Amino acid sequence: MMKPTPLLLIVSFAAASFGFAQSAPQEPSSAHGWQQSQKADTAATFTYTQFTLAGKFLSPPHDKAASRPALVLDCIPGSSSHAAKGRLLGANLLVGMTLKIVYVEPEEIRGTSYYPKVVARYQIDGANAEEDKWTAGTDKTSVAIPKDALKQILRAHSVAITTDDEHGSQVAMQFEIPDSTMVEQGCRVDEHTK
């Protein structure tokens, strides 16, 4: 006759091993894709679609209050624009901390104005990094992404972007780019702007 204690141990061990075999809870797939929301302009004269993709910092940022970086595209939907397709209003990289500003002299000098820019280095799918000066946001915690760079980013699988914070420390971010067909079509990224 078998003793009850060993049977209880076997059942307990089997139950524990099933617990280890289960995978950790997965985040919903939508957390890793483009998030879409509807917004209105400040005067509430029109609505637009905002596409947001969260990224991650590759090293802890100097500013501990900074949240995750994000790529944000604002687009007028096709039904609201004068054309049958949507229209890109703007594409921004939200960093969430004050960035180092460099002042660039305009090509045509009219007075003494200089443009506030942020030096951005970006690497598409592990290729050689490109460096450009992107227009700083008014709050100096974001930058506008030029359309040519945006096209490359939307067609990539992975993008690493590096800028400098106000103290000169590097801020390295990475974005895993999911299928962006919906974003490209909804914002008409391929269209020439006038």
Amino acid in the structure at residue 18: F
Residue 137 has pLDDT above 90, yes or no: yes
For the four alpha carbons of 129, 134, 140 and 142, in that order, the dihedral sign comes to negative
pLDDT tier at 110 (50, 70, 90 boundaries)? low
pLDDT at 13: 36
**pLDDT tens figures, 7-52:** 433 333 333 333 333 333 333 444 579 999 999 888 888 889 999 9
pTM flag (> 0.85)? no
- The CATH number of the structural domain formed by 31-187 is 2.60.40
Q: What is the mean pLDDT of the chain?
A: 80
**Contact call for residues 80 and 89 (beta carbons, < 8 A):** no
pLDDT tier at 67 (50, 70, 90 boundaries)? confident
3-state class (DSSP) for residue 50: strand
Residue 57 has pLDDT above 80, yes or no: yes
Domain residue limits, the chain: 31-187
Q: Which of 7-21, 26-40, 106-120, 176-190 has the lowest mean pLDDT?
A: 7-21
3-state secondary structure 53-87: EECEECCCCCCCCCCCCEEEEEEECCCCCCCCCCE
Q: Which of 10-14, 65-69, 186-190 has the lowest mean pLDDT?
A: 10-14
Q: Who contacts 149 (Cβ-Cβ below 8 Å, separation ≥6)?
A: 122, 130, 132, 134
Q: Which of 47-56, 83-92, 118-127, 143-152 has the lowest mean pLDDT?
A: 83-92
**pLDDT tens figures, 70-82:** 999 999 876 654 5
Structure tokens at 154: 């939307």
